[in-house]
Chain A
Amino acid sequence: MKINVDRSRCVGAGQCVLTAPALFDQGEEDGLVEVLEAEPDATQAAAARMAAQVCPSGTITLIH
């Protein structure tokens, strides 16, 4: 699984950071999403899926 983000869509509410803090952060300056771990392992896959699901702006996509 690979995490892809389209930062131009991000609305910065940080749902991904709350849901999967090991995978996502928000930029210090702009508050927009930053991927910490683009290739989550099996133990992190559920968190990645949840983050993609709760993101309000369709910023996060998962490639299998």
Chain B
Amino acid sequence: MTLSEPEATEFPVRLPGEPFPPRQYADFRKRPGLIRSTLPTGSPVWLVSRHEDVRTVLTDRRISSNPAREGFPNVAKTGGVPTQEQIPGWFVGIDPPEHGRFRKALIPEFSVRRIREWRPLIQETVDRCVDHLLSLGDSADLVAEFALPVPSLVISTMLGVPFVDREFFESRTKTLVNLKTTTEDERSAAVQELLRYIGRLIKVKQKRPGDDLISRLLESAVLTPEELTGVIMLLLIAGHETTANNIALGVVTLLSNPQWIGDDRAVDELLRYHSVADLVALRVAVEDVEIGGQLVRAGEGIIPLIAGANHDLDSFERPDEFDPGRAARHHVAFGYGVHQCLGQNLVRAEMEIVYQTLFRRVPTLAIDADVAALPFKYDGTLFGLHELPVRW
């Protein structure tokens, strides 16, 4: 497997003190075609930075999401995307047509209407999390005390996790995302504990079904209980750190642009502007395919850069400006194609409710540090904040 032509470019990294898209992205915009690079693991890969090319990569059936395929790019320090052998039902790694069976089973649970029905519950959860925050005195780490618990508590309610188990559930999910202090062993222990817990929960729901997502999926019997375990794990993980990162970064950006506080249009612009899942949509070519004028050979890895696409001058005017007034719904913060984020309406609802509630109930909220010096996740697969010290 050799990569032809263009000069190899260094793998993009965010530089400390420069939290938003890596500096190289401005450079990438000026180049035609794809960018040849080398992963931190040493394997060659194609980077795709243009909005149109990213959409092409994410919809072309000759390009696969299956991590078990030769040449699949692995960027995570934590072992990367699990294969079906490791976690059956982890359907972000399954290609169509098989992917459709999983997706279709879950679609009704995350439709715009269904999520609207969940809003009172989300509001109640956010209010409880604000109560908790305020109970801590006049300062706290907003990531640990608020941004991480909100999505975890919301999804555990949707899944039907009994109230008494919420704390266990939240503590294990927190272990998974805390790459700074968690060792690899602690992480895999938490994964195993969660998988075991979910397996037990499924057994309970088989005996005593309730009005929840797991019970409904069991009833429809489209997925086996084993697949369902992986699906639930995926819902839990996919929506946890991503949402928490969005919540925390959004607080920082809104506090610097207070004129947009209270305007729900800010949500999609925050999603575009931060593009937290920049290095998440990983692909490999199954056949030779031409993208952006570049021939990509079968077996070569491809990484569509989500932040690159969302800061593409051809699709967004003044892309590096935060401007919720723009029409930016064509952003690819949730990806594109059949794998586009299933939970996107849930995230939007959570972010809307979080900002409305947090800034209304804590009007004096302020960042308790120099913004440029905040511990941004410069080295993660997901962009975000390790901590966000705030006071009120």
Point out residues on A near B: beta carbons under 8 Å.
11-15, 17-19, 25-32, 50, 53-54, 56-58
**B245-253, B339-347, B368-376: which lies at the interface:** B339-347
**Which residue of A has the minimal Cβ distance to B58?**
A56
- Interface status of B180 (Cβ within 8 A of chain A): no
**In contact, A31 and B340 (Cβ under 8 angstroms):** no
- Interface status of B114 (Cβ within 8 A of chain A): yes
**Which residue of B has the minimal Cβ distance to A21?**
B112
Question: CA–CA, A55 to B108, complex, Å?
Answer: 17
> Can you list 28 pairs linking A and B with CB atoms under 8 Å apart?
A11-B338, A12-B103, A12-B104, A13-B340, A13-B342, A14-B112, A14-B344, A15-B329, A17-B111, A17-B112, A18-B345, A25-B113, A26-B112, A26-B113, A27-B108, A28-B108, A29-B108, A30-B104, A30-B107, A31-B108, A31-B110, A53-B330, A54-B329, A56-B59, A56-B337, A56-B340, A57-B338, A58-B59
Report which of A12, A18, A25, A29 forms a contact with B329, defined as CB distance below 8 A. Answer: A18
**In contact, A11 and B103 (Cβ under 8 angstroms):** yes
Residues of chain B within 8 A (CB-CB) of A17 are: 111-112
Centre residue among B58, B107, B329 by max chain A CB count within 10 A: B107
From known contacts A18-B329, A19-B329, A31-B114, infer whether A13 and B334 are also in contact, taking CB-CB under 8 Å: yes
- Shortest B52–chain A CB gap in Å is 12
Question: CA–CA, A18 to B112, complex, Å?
Answer: 8
**Which residue of B has the minimal Cβ distance to A15?**
B329
Residues of chain A within 8 A (CB-CB) of B113 are: 25-26, 28
**In contact, A11 and B107 (Cβ under 8 angstroms):** yes
Other A-B contacts than A13-B334, A28-B108, 16 sampled, CB-CB below 8 A, are A12-B108, A12-B110, A12-B342, A13-B344, A14-B111, A26-B107, A27-B108, A28-B113, A30-B108, A32-B107, A50-B327, A53-B330, A54-B329, A56-B335, A57-B59, A57-B338
Q: Mark B97-110, 1 if CB is under 8 A from A, else 0.
A: 00000011001111
Residues of chain A within 8 A (CB-CB) of B342 are: 12-13
Within 8 A of A (CB), among B311-347: 327, 329-330, 334-338, 340-342, 344-345
**Which residue of B has the minimal Cβ distance to A26?**
B111
Within 8 A of A (CB), among B88-145: 103-104, 107-114
Number of residue pairs A-B, CB distance < 8 angstroms: 66
- Per the CB 8 Å criterion, the residue count for chain B at the interface is 25
Residues of chain B within 8 A (CB-CB) of A26 are: 107, 111-113
Residues of chain A within 8 A (CB-CB) of B338 are: 11, 56-57
Q: Which 4 A-B residue pairs are closest in the complex by CB-CB distance?
A: A12-B107, A31-B107, A31-B108, A14-B112
Residues of chain A within 8 A (CB-CB) of B109 are: 31
Question: CA–CA, A45 to B389, complex, Å?
Answer: 47
Question: CA–CA, A50 to B330, complex, Å?
Answer: 8
Residues of chain A within 8 A (CB-CB) of B104 are: 12, 30
Question: CA–CA, A17 to B330, complex, Å?
Answer: 14
**Which residue of A has the minimal Cβ distance to B345?**
A14
- Shortest B347–chain A CB gap in Å is 11
Question: CA–CA, A57 to B332, complex, Å?
Answer: 13
Residues of chain A within 8 A (CB-CB) of B108 are: 12, 27-31
Residues of chain A within 8 A (CB-CB) of B112 are: 14, 17-18, 26
Residues of chain A within 8 A (CB-CB) of B337 are: 11, 56-57
- Shortest B103–chain A CB gap in Å is 6
Residues of chain B within 8 A (CB-CB) of A15 are: 329
From known contacts A30-B104, A32-B107, A50-B329, infer whether A13 and B341 are also in contact, taking CB-CB under 8 Å: yes
**In contact, B345 and A13 (Cβ under 8 angstroms):** yes
**Which residue of A has the minimal Cβ distance to B59?**
A58
Residues of chain A within 8 A (CB-CB) of B341 are: 13
Residues of chain B within 8 A (CB-CB) of A25 are: 113
**Which residue of B has the minimal Cβ distance to A17?**
B112
Within 8 A of A (CB), among B333-382: 334-338, 340-342, 344-345
**In contact, A11 and B340 (Cβ under 8 angstroms):** yes
- Shortest B387–chain A CB gap in Å is 32
